Structure 1
Amino acid sequence: MFKNLKSDIPASIVVFFVALPLCLGIALASGAPLFSGIIAGIIGGIVVGGLSGSKLGVSGPAAGLAAIVLTAITTLGSYENFLVAVVLGGIIQIIFGVLKAGVIGYYFPSSVIKGMLTGIGIIIILKQIPNFFGYDEESAWDLEFFEIDGGNTFSELINILGNIHPGALLIGVISLLLILIWDNVLGKKAKIFKVIPGPFLAVVAGIVFFTVTQGNELLSIGSKHMVSVPVPEDLSSFVGQFSFPNFGVVFNHEVWIVAFTIALVASIETLLSVEASDKIDPEKNVTPTNRELLAQGAGNIISGLIGGLPITQVIVRSSANVQSGGKSKMSTILHGFLLLISVILIPTLLNMIPLAVLAAVLLLVGYKLAKPSLFKKMYHLGWKQWLPFIVTVVGIVFTDLLSGIALGMLVGIVVILLKSYQNSHFLHIEDKSNGKHKIKMELAEEVTFFNKGAILKELDSLPKDSYLEFDVRKTRYLDYDVIEILEDFAFKAKEKNIDIKLISKRGVVENPPSFIEFFKLRPKSEISLS
């Protein structure tokens, strides 16, 4: 973990600045104490980062759980009662890991994962535009289309009109240009520019801008446009920010319902993020998914015990880590320590960072996830890749992460069924032989009930007075539903004067009296029947 510090330290700084406002914003959107988001970020970095097998994945509080948390706190009566559900959810996740449920993560199609990354990128851009222009609402950290405050993604964009803050917009533009020039121009000319990350320089510029413009009526940036970290007066008030679970409600069935919901949703979001972060990893590392569930479970237990929000692996922070040049899990762990040290030693300094600066960082992260070239590439791969991809993107933008993924998966399954329908057999029609059309039909290696329609259609369309060579030599699995279709066809073939030649590994049978009896008598090593 220590051999890539030259890359991991700058990456951890960028992830820290991305994670800080997300931790605070998600806590705000969840109706939880602000410090609970910081706790979850610290645990996600240090504990989950240390236990996980993911080299580049970053964990912390997830926007996708905000609505669940907000509802659960109200349902369970208090935040302390809710923390019990977080701890129990962590235990359930560990059980998932022991049962090797992480294998589910390998069954998401590549087109859907790419659609998820692109959709998240678009959402980041749309949600951070208000911050960039100095119109700050809680919805900046709510990644769902329909927001908790009753608005939606596009209504917040419309509300920007007439609410633009000149100072926030100016430092946002300066930060954006500074990062682009620093990384893309100066970074290619001297190594020193690669050592100090552009986002760090933008944050420094933002603090200087805030300090210099104080008192200026036009450009001065108020507190609602700034990072807002809780500032404890002394050690006792810092410790007082921690909350602890009320285990007296552990036998309340509603607590267990919330716990299972947290475990299930957090596990699915984690597995999706694992697949996505592995997909954009330049070194193509493969994360052990069962170990990831164990790590997430341990993180949620500890987070719940000391007052933190539920934790998942999150693609926003993970992609920022990848794009900033992170090489190992050390960047994840270091970002957790940076969160811990900063809220203890420099909370006042953190509160001098304009949100427009961090919005500039996130806008670039979003763009890298949703580059126009990716749309072009997916389109040229054909409709079977393009359709699940674009449905996932649109679904995420106009609903939420899990709903968008579900829509993409549904379309992906339909595409698979269509491909199975089309690829069940090979049909070849030859010239007339002995006055009859000679037709060869060769079945695929696996033929299921999904293929019934295609095979039935072909058999019914055969002309009268034909000669059918039916080849099953390559077939290893043949569904009984398909055998019944063949049985019915054998009866119809007599009426249409169609001769049948059945070719199998056992030899050739002319006009078999019964396909069912033929396949029942097969050697066990030849064809498996359902």
Structure 2
Amino acid sequence: MKIKGLFENARYDLPASIVVFFVAMPLCLGIALASGAPLFSGIIAGIVGGIIVGMASGSPLGVSGPAAGLAVIVLSAIATLGSWQAFLVSVVIAGILQIVMGYLRLGIIAYYFPTSVIKGMLTGIGLIIILKQIPHALGYDADYEGDLSFQTAVGNTFSDLSTAFEVLTPGALIISAVSLTILILWEAVLTKTHRIFQLIQGPVVVVVAGIILNQMFQAGILPFSLTKDQLVNIPVASDLGEFFGQFSLPDFSHLTNPQVYFTAMVVALIASIETLLCVEATDKLDPYKRVTPTNRELKAQGLGNVISGLIGGLPITQVIVRSSTNITFGGKTKLSAITHGFFLLISAIAIPNILNMIPLATLACILFVVGYKLAKPTLFKSMYQLGLSQFIPFVATVVGIVFTDLLTGIGIGMAFAIFYILRGHYQNPYVFHASNTNGREMRTIALAEEVSFLNKGSLLQTLNHLPGGADVVIDAKRTKIIDHDVIEVIRDFIVNAKNKDIRVRIEGIPVLEKVSRENDYQRITEKEITHSEA
């Protein structure tokens, strides 16, 4: 299916953007809280990520906003620089650096991550989303919404789970049960019965149901209750002036501080890597398999960070939780990302009191669906069927993300992937063919296009185990790159071949052809080779 216009799929994009908005709002607030930044800075970053980056980006389904992966960096940088306004200067500079990176065409970095690691990243994020939302579904809300790190302020992911089961809230449990029931029935049954259930998304109904149940609790109709910590909590401005007063301006007097530039480089690097990994993952989830122009994405993210820094927002990246939610609930074009940004802006101005009625348990159930679709059990089976070289890096990435954090988990997965790549490179530097001609054994070794020092051991073992009295052809006619270490191995073999009555013919390596002639041992004729191949 070819998608032609931005508004052509509005009937899909609008409902998806509403769901993304409901997921993004608490994420923006939670990440701001974890970053030690003003709460409203997360909302600003979400608005800019949706509207500005959404318009400038070439990603059809990616959604940008503040990222949990930068929270620790932001927290540390604010303390080091001494003020929030000084950190905003670093955000502006980081955005400029990203724009420069885009023009230098550094977006190609994304294509050097193996598919096994990307799929492992998606699965790991799916599992951690589920694990992180269980406390919210049970009514325990000590940790902020959306954290993707194993360690938390009060322990770790599993200790939070054990505590959540000890202090579960019946009201939150009832809302979670109702929400999950609606979501499952909506997708598995109702959407197949009538078109109206396809137009109205289940998560929107779940949010309304959550608000109604909470109001019934407060009115005493049902004998349960939720605390303020168990509801969405965004800042409420009394008038438009107070709303705009929540915006902050960077203090450019800190431009003389070298630490500002160091922080900017760190933010630009980490934000760009997270964005490019998310772009690769989002493209793989895209039902239409569209390819995002990564250099344009770096420029769009840079523009977003410049604007976010100028008006008091957190650093921005493309984020997988919101992007996968967008895909899961039917988004088709980037209109859904842009619209969700406008929803954030309008809601922050007009209806903060209504949004503060939404139970976090409701949002947790929506994210359960997202997490499950990212980490379906069938994916583990399909990756195993592809072989250990795909399955081991996949599992290593999943485990790394669940027990550490996003970037560390990806690093662990990459280490295993590189091991298998090098192992395969070591084992396949040439094609070996054996035959018999006139009573003499013929061995043909056709080297690959590239033979590096990593192949030296494998080739050395093969040459050392060649039988005495054999004829050996080392064919490098197709080889474009051959490492000096490999040439030395072949040179030594030629010199010592006479001791084992081995005849050698070298093809495609002029310097070794000369060595072979000097040792008077290139005696295999073309006729003998042709006869052997026949």
Normalised by the length of structure 2, the TM-score is 0.93
- 71, 79, 102: which one aligns with 1:74: 79
Alpha-carbon distance, 1:471 to partner: 2.2
Determine if contact 1:87/1:300 at 8 Å carries over to the other structure: yes
State how far apart, in whole Å, the 2-side matches of 1:269 and 1:446 are.
32
- Contact 1:299–1:311 (CA under 8 A) maintained in structure 2: yes
1:166 aligns with 2:173: no
In the alignment, what sits opposite 1:202? 206
Is 2:332 the partner of 1:320?
A: no
Check 1:514–1:214 CA distance in 2 against 1; reply closer, same or farther (3 A cut): farther
* SS in structure 1 at match of 2:15: helix
Q: Pick the aligned partner of 2:106 from 101, 107, 113.
A: 101
Three-state SS of the structure 1 residue aligned to 2:441 is strand
CA contact (8 A) 1:501 1:511 kept: no
Partner deviation per Cα, 1:169-206 (whole Å, 9 max, x = no partner): 11011111101111221111111011111000000001
Q: Equivalent residue for 1:453?
A: 457
Deviation per CA, 1:467-499: give whole Å up to 9, x if none: 222222332332222111110011221222211
Q: How does 1:238-387 map to 2 (within 5 A)?
A: 238-387=243-392
Match of 2:417 among 389, 403, 412: 412
SS at match of 1:437: strand
The alpha carbon displacement at 1:36 in A equals: 0.7
Q: Return the alpha-carbon distance in structure 1 between the equivalents of residues 113 and 509 of structure 2.
A: 37
AA in 1 matched with 2:461 = K
In structure 1, the partner of 2:525 is none
* 2:256 partner SS: coil
Q: Is the 8 A contact 2:26 2:145 kept in 1?
A: no
1:295-332: CA deviation from partner (whole Å, max 9, x where unpaired)? 00110111111111000000110001111111111000
Q: Which amino acid aligns with 1:173?
A: A
Distance in 2 (CA, whole Å) between partners of 1:70 and 1:510 is 65
- In 1, Cα distance between equivalents of 2:55 and 2:362: 30
2:239 is the counterpart of 1:234: yes
The answer as to whether partners of 1:487 and 1:514 remain within 8 angstroms in 2 is: no
Asked if the contact 2:81–2:87 (Cα under 8 Å) also holds between the matched residues in 1, the reply is yes
Match in the other structure for 2:504: 500
> Does the CA contact (< 8 Å) of 2:33 and 2:144 recur in 1?
no
Taking the aligned partners of 1:363 and 1:430, their CA distance within structure 2 comes to 61
Shift of 1:138: 2.3
* Between 66-75 and 150-159, the greater mean CA deviation after superposition: 150-159
Amino acid at match of 1:198: G
Quote the residue 2:31 is aligned against: 26
2-structure distance, mates of 1:26, 1:138: 11
**Contact 1:87/1:305 (CA < 8 Å) preserved in 2?**
yes
Identity within the alignment, %? 57
By how many angstroms is 1:511 displaced? 8.7
User: Structure 1 residue 434: deviation in Å?
Assistant: 4.9
Equivalent in 386, 391, 404 of residue 396 of structure 2: 391
Matched residue type, 2:478 = K
**What secondary structure, in the 3-state scheme, does the structure 2 residue paired with 1:219 have?**
coil
8 Å contact 2:456–2:489 — kept in the other structure? yes
1:109-149 deviation line (CA, Å, top 9, x unaligned): 111111111111011011111001001122443211122x1
Counterpart AA for 2:82: G
2:46 pairs with 1:41? yes
Give the whole-Å Cα distance in 2 for the aligned partners of 1:234 and 1:341: 14
- Secondary structure of the 1:137 match is coil
Name 2:532's counterpart in structure 1.
none
Structure 1: gaps of 5 or more residues = 519-530
Shift of 1:429: 2.9
- Aligned residue for 1:138, secondary structure, equals coil
Find the counterpart in structure 2 of residue 528 from structure 1.
none
The answer (yes or no) to whether the contact 2:471–2:503 under 8 Å persists in 1 is: yes
Q: Any conservation in 1 of the 2:278–2:320 contact (CA below 8 Å)?
A: yes
Unaligned runs of 5+ in 2: 1-5, 523-534
User: What is the CA–CA distance in structure 1 between the aligned matches of 2:98 and 2:460, rounded to whole Å?
Assistant: 46
Residues 116 and 396, structure 1, Cα contact 8 Å, conserved in 2: yes
Task: After superposition, give the CA deviation of every residue in 1:42-77 in whole Å (9 maximum; x if it has no partner).
Answer: 000000000000000000000000001111111111
Return the letter of the residue paired with 2:215.
T
Q: Does the Cα contact within 8 Å between 2:27 and 2:145 map onto a contact in 1?
A: no
Equivalent position of 2:194 in the other structure: 190
Normalising by the residue count of structure 1, what TM-score does the alignment of the two structures yield? 0.94
Partner of 2:59: 54
Quote the residue 2:3 is aligned against. Answer: none
1:357-411 superposed Cα distances (whole Å, 9 cap, x missing partner): 0000001100100000001000000111111111111111111111111111122
Q: Shift of residue 510 of structure 1?
A: 11
AA matched with 2:392: L
Residue type of the partner of 1:199? P
- Aligned counterparts of 1:174 and 1:488: Cα–Cα separation in 2: 76
1:278–1:68 distance in 2 versus 1, CA, 3 Å: same
SS of 1:512's partner is helix
Alignment-mate amino acid for residue 209 of structure 2: A
Deviation at 1:423, TM superposition (A): 1.2
**Distance in 1 between the 2:307 and 2:20 partners?**
22
> 2:99 aligned with 1:120, yes or no?
no
Deviations along 1:252-294, whole A, 9 cap, x unmatched?
0111111111100000000000000001100111101111011
Q: Which amino acid aligns with 1:380?
A: Q
Indicate conservation of the 8 Å contact 1:26/1:63, yes or no.
Answer: yes
Taking the aligned partners of 1:139 and 1:114, their CA distance within structure 2 comes to 26
| Mapped partners of 1:13, 1:514: distance in 2 | 78
3-state SS of the aligned residue for 1:430? strand
Q: Which amino acid aligns with 2:485?
A: D
Distance 1:309 1:415 in 2: 38
Q: CA deviation at 1:436?
A: 3.9
* Residue in 2 that maps onto 1:522: none
Q: How does 1:499-518 map to 2 (within 5 A)?
A: 499-504=503-508, 512-513=516-517
1:509 Cα deviation after fit: 7.0
